[in-house]
Amino acid sequence: MRHIALCLLACLSLWGVEIDKETGLKVAKGLDVVKANCTACHSASFITQSKLNREEWLAAIRWMQETQGLWEFDPETEDVILTYLSTQYPQANTSRRRPQLKAEFLPK
């Protein structure tokens, strides 16, 4: 058992992923800015469950700004946030999930 625990610890640190205990977000450059701006209204699990590219992250932010009362960011802050999000929670293009069925193939 001990060996397994030790191995797990070693693997995790080799992997290099450290998780912020407060939010569950990955510890990386920009985390403080993301924490300050993105966890006020909802939990960070919205972020950790998303896998988006930079444009899609920007679109999500614009959507919240237009419809959910998210405040505007200055360009530097926005860049830090987008870089953090698209690096730590990037688009998943390795999904093995089959594409959605087209509407005409679904039961009526």
**Which residues make up the interface to ligand HEC (CB under 6 A)?**
37-38, 40-42, 46-47, 50, 60-61, 64, 68-70, 81, 85
Residue closer to ligand HEC by CB (options 23, 38) is 38
| Torsion from C-alpha of 19, 29, 76, 41, nearest 10 degrees | 10
Residue closer to ligand HEC by CB (options 15, 71) is 71
Shortest distance, position 29 Cβ to ligand HEC, whole Å: 15
Shortest distance, position 13 Cβ to ligand HEC, whole Å: 27
- Residue 61 CA: distances (Å) to CA of 5, 22, 70, 79: 39, 22, 8, 12
Q: Where are the beta strands (DSSP E) in the chain?
A: none
Residue closer to ligand HEC by CB (options 66, 104) is 66
Phi-psi region at 16: left, alpha or beta (left = phi > 0; alpha = psi -120 to 50): left
Shortest distance, position 63 Cβ to ligand HEC, whole Å: 7
